[in-house]
Amino acid sequence: MLKNSVAAVFLVTASSLVSLPQAATAQTYTFTSVQVEGNQRIESSTIVARTGLERGREVTPGQLNDAYQRVLDSGVFETVELIPRGNTLVIKVVEYPTINKINFEGNRRIKDDTLQGAIASESRRVFTPEQVERDAATIAEIYSAQGRVAATVVPRIIRRSDNRVDLVFEIAEGDTIEIERVSFVGNRAFSDRRLRRVLETKQAGLLRTFIRSDTFIADRIEFDKQVMRDFYLSRGYVDFRVNSANVEFTRERDAFFLVLDVTEGQQFSFGKITTVSEIPGVDPAAYQEVLKIKPGVVYSPSLVENSLARQERLGLKNGVEFLRVEPRIKRNDRDLTLDIEFALVKGPRIFVERIDIEGNTTTLDRVIRRQFRTVEGDPFNPREIRESAERIRALGFFADANVETREGSTPSQVIVDVDVEEQPTGSLSFGGSYSVSDGFGVAIGLSESNFLGRGQRLGVTLSTAQDAEQYILSFTEPQLLGRDLRFDIDLGVAATNSSFASYDTDRRFFEPGLTFPLGELSSLQVRYRWDASEMTQRTATTVSGAVIASEIAQGRLSSSSLGLTYAYDSRIGGLNPNAGVLFEVGVDAAGLGGDNEYFKTTARAIAQTRVWHEEITLRASLDLGAFSWQGSGFSRAIDRFVIGPNTFRGFEPAGVGPRDLSNGVNDALGGNFYAVARFEAEFPLGLPEELGLRGGLFYDVGNVWDLSDVNTAGGTIVGADGSFRHVVGFSLLWTTAFGPLRFNFSKALKKETFDKEQSFDLTIQARF
C-alpha cells in the first residue's frame, strides 16, 4: 500500500516534469538562485548540495531530472518537485514524517519485544515506506519459521501533529501449516518408516499441539537433506543424492505433503587399506598398525576420519610437526569396494593465533575452551578443529554451535571463532511401578548438567517408590584440574519401609570416585565408599523370621571400601553404527576400617544390533554378581544381592531369591550370587508413525541364590539352592513430547510359590 502511494506521487511528479522538455528541448536553464520550500528538519543548504547543481551554470533538462532523482533518493522526502522560475530554481519538498511509536496488533504467539528487536524501524527515526515493507516481510518470515506460512503483516500509519506518525503492524497469525505426510521416492534399501526417523521434520501426530517438528519450515527441510546424505554415506552409499524435495498443499490447503526424491546408488565396502609416507624419515608401517578399519567393512566417512585422527595423533606423539594425512580413494565399481591410501604429507606452517568465543551467556569460556586439544600458539590442524566442534556440540549445552576459522594478523596464523547458542540443560524424570499388593510407587529426579555454567552436573533424587524414601545429592566434575579426569561424588540418605520383608532400613553413604579413559572406547573408575546402615524392626508388633531377627540384632554397621570398575562401550564409537557392545566389570573390597569385611564383584555385558533394514532392534544382556563375606559374624540381607524390576522384569523388588518362612512370615533374604539374562526385540507396530508407538517383546531368565555366611539358625529357608525363573512380556514404547514412555506387561512362565510377581511397570522421562 505504501509503495503504491509513493509510486503514485512519483508518477504525478514525473508527469509534471514531462512538460519541461517541451521548452527544454530548445533551451537550457541558468539559475542564479535556488529557493527551497517545505523543509522542516533538513537544512536548505543540504538539499541544494544534494542536487549537484551550481549557480550560474547552464543546466539541461536531463541534468535537472538527475538532480530531482538525487534528492528523492536521499530517502527522507515523500515528494520532490523542481520548478524553474526565471533565474530561480524552486525546490518543493514534503519530508517523510518521524515515527512517534510502533505498535503490533494481532500477535499472540510472539511477544512485542521479540518483534521489535527484529525490525529496523525505530521510534524518533524517519519513516520510510521501503523500510517498513522490509520490516513487514521480516515479521512474516519469523512466523513462517514457526510453521505459520499463512501469516500476513500489513503496516499502517496514523497521522499525528508536527509531521509525526504512529506505525502499526497489523498481524494475522493464521494457523500452523502441518506436514500431513512425508514420503520418499527411489528408496529401496530402507523403508519410508526408517527414513522418517532420520528426519527432523515429522508428520503431524496426535500431540501436534505440543510438537513443533510437524510444521512446515523450509530451513528444516534443507537440514533434513543433509541428514539424509549423512545417513546413507555412513552406510556405504557413496553415490547417494537427494534429487528434489517437493512440498505441495493438500486439496483443502490446510497442510503440506513432503516428497523426497532420492537416488541411493550401490553400497560400497572398504577394499585395500594402505599407508604411504612422503615425509623423509617417517616409516609408514607404524602408522598402518594404528588403523582399525579392515577390508570388507561397510564404508563410512566417520571411520576414515577416525583413522586420520589416529595417525595424526601418532605423528604428534612421535614429534612429526605439521603432519597431515590425506586419504586417497580409488573406486572399484566391479566389486563395489573403495581402496584407501593414507598418504603422510607435510602440511603448511600455520599456527593458531587465538580462539574467540561468543554467544555463551551462562556457560563459562573455559568450559568451551577445554574441548579444544589445540591452544594458542599450536600448529593449526583443521581436523582437530572439526573434532573440537563436535565435542562442543556433544556437551548438550547448546542448541547450535558453529566453529569457523579466519586469517589472523599474518597469513601464517588463523583465528578460531566459536559461536554458540545456549539451551536448557536441566532435566526432570519420573519413574513409576505397580504391583497388585503395593499399588503405585513414584520416583522423581532433578538434574542440571551445566551447573552455574561450569559444565558440572548436579543431581537430586527423591524417591518414594515401593515405600522407600531416598534423598541423594550427586555432583560431577567432567574435567578435574583441566584434565580428562572425571570426578564424581554422591551423598545420600535412604530409608525404606520394606514391602518385601518385616524390617525397615536406614542407610547413609558417601562415595567419591575418579574416572579416566584407558582407550578410545574403554575407561577405568577408582572409587571409595563409606556407608553406615541399620536394619530395624518395622513396628513393635511386627513379627520377623529368625534370620532377619538375628540381622536386626546386629544394629548399625559401617563399611569402608575401595572399588574399581572397567568399562568398554562400542555402541556409539565402534566400527558398526548399527551394532555395539557394552562390557563392565567391577570389584569392591571392604575392610579399610569399618565393621564389615567382604569382596563384591559384578559384571554386565550388553550387545545390540539392528536388523531387517534397521527396522528391528535386537538386544541381549547378562548381569552377574558374586559376594564373599570375609569378616567375623554374618552378612545381612542389605549387604547381599537383592534384585528388582530394573534388573529382572516381572517381579517386585526382592521378589525372587531365598526367603525365610519361619514365624509365619515371608522375608526376602537376598543371595551371595545372582545371574540374569535379558533378551528383547523392539519393532514397529504397523500403526501410523505419527502416533510414535513401537512394540517390544522380551524374555528374561534369572535367579538369586546361596546363603553361605548367613545365620540361618531357627529359620525356615526356601530357595537357597537356586531355581532359575523365566519371564516373557510385551513392551509398548511411546515417544511423546514429554519424553519416552515405556509400559512393560509381563508374565512369569516359571516361578516359585513364594515369589512375588509384578505384572506391570511404567517408566517416564521428561526434559525442561
Residues 331, 364, single domain; the answer is no
DSSP 8-state assignment for residue 123: T
Domain end among 95, 113, 136: 95
Can you tell me which residue has the cell 530357595?
719
Nearest CA among 321, 378, 381, 324 for reference residue 347: 324
Which pLDDT belongs to residue 514? 97
Residues 25, 140, single domain; the answer is no
pLDDT at 715 over 90: no
Q: Is residue 410 part of a domain?
A: no
pLDDT at 274 over 80: yes
Residues 189, 292, single domain; the answer is no
Q: Is residue 288 part of a domain?
A: yes
Which pLDDT belongs to residue 1? 41
Which pLDDT belongs to residue 202? 75
Residues 326, 196, single domain; the answer is no
Identify the CATH number of the domain in which residue 361 sits.
3.10.20.310
Name the least confident of 138-142, 264-268, 605-609. 138-142
Question: What is the per-residue pLDDT across 440-498, written as a single tens digit (0 to 9) for each?
Answer: 556 677 888 999 899 999 998 877 655 667 788 999 999 998 888 999 999 999 887 76
Q: Is residue 400 part of a domain?
A: yes
Domain end among 172, 196, 219: 172
Question: What is the per-residue pLDDT across 226-261, written as a single tens digit (0 to 9) for each?
Answer: 999 999 999 999 999 999 988 776 665 567 788 999
Average pLDDT over the chain, rounded to an integer: 85
Which pLDDT belongs to residue 296? 92
Residues 619, 641, single domain; the answer is yes
Question: What is the per-residue pLDDT across 703-714, written as a single tens digit (0 to 9) for each?
Answer: 999 999 999 998
pLDDT at 600 over 90: yes
Which pLDDT belongs to residue 278? 93
Question: What is the per-residue pLDDT across 638-668, written as a single tens digit (0 to 9) for each?
Answer: 999 998 888 899 998 888 999 999 888 888 8
What is the tally of structural domains in the chain? 6
Which pLDDT belongs to residue 286? 93
Instruction: Provide the pLDDT confidence category of residue 604 given band limits of 50, 70 and 90.
Output: very high
Residues 643, 720, single domain; the answer is yes
Question: What is the per-residue pLDDT across 144-184, written as a single tens digit (0 to 9) for each?
Answer: 777 677 788 999 999 888 888 999 999 988 766 677 788 89
* CB-based contacts of 528, cutoff 8 Å, min separation 6: 511, 512, 513, 560, 561, 562, 563
Residues 581, 692, single domain; the answer is yes
More reliable by pLDDT, 80 or 2: 80
Secondary structure class of 290 (helix, strand, coil): coil
pLDDT at 25 over 50: no
Q: From the CB of residue 595, how many other CB atoms can be counted at a distance below 10 Å?
A: 18
Instruction: Let me know: does 210 contact 202? Beta carbons within 8 Å.
Output: no
Which pLDDT belongs to residue 340? 96
More reliable by pLDDT, 573 or 150: 150
pLDDT at 304 over 60: yes
Residues 76, 219, single domain; the answer is no
Residues 247, 317, single domain; the answer is no
The beta strand positions in 518-645, using DSSP E, are: 522-537, 557-569, 579-594, 598-611, 616-629
Which pLDDT belongs to residue 266? 95
Residues 59, 111, single domain; the answer is no
pLDDT at 10 over 80: no
Alpha helices for 199-320 (secondary structure H):
218-233, 284-289, 301-317
Q: Is residue 61 part of a domain?
A: yes
More reliable by pLDDT, 690 or 649: 649
Q: Which three cell numbers stand for residue 504?
A: 525397615
Q: Is residue 619 part of a domain?
A: yes
Q: Is residue 119 part of a domain?
A: yes
Q: Is residue 421 part of a domain?
A: no
Instruction: Provide the pLDDT confidence category of residue 206 given band limits of 50, 70 and 90.
Output: low
Which pLDDT belongs to residue 443? 67
Specify the DSSP element, H or E, that contains 97. Answer: none
Residues 246, 197, single domain; the answer is yes
Residue 740: strand pairing partners: 735
Domain end among 122, 139, 172: 172
Q: Is residue 631 part of a domain?
A: yes
Q: In which domain, by residue range, is 201 found?
A: 178-263
pLDDT at 438 over 50: no
Which pLDDT belongs to residue 26? 44
pLDDT at 15 over 60: no
Mean of the pLDDT values across residues 286-303?
91
Give 667: exposed, middle or buried? Use CB within 10 Å, 0-12, 13-18, 19+. buried
% of the chain at pLDDT higher than 70: 88
Which pLDDT belongs to residue 738? 62
pLDDT at 45 over 50: yes
Which pLDDT belongs to residue 299? 94
pLDDT at 364 over 80: yes
- Cα 271 from Cα 17, distance rounded (Å): 78
More reliable by pLDDT, 532 or 612: 532
- The pTM score is 0.69
Which pLDDT belongs to residue 28? 78
Identify the CATH number of the domain in which residue 678 sits.
2.40.160.50
pLDDT at 526 over 90: yes
Residues 75, 161, single domain; the answer is no
Residue 20: strand pairing partners: none
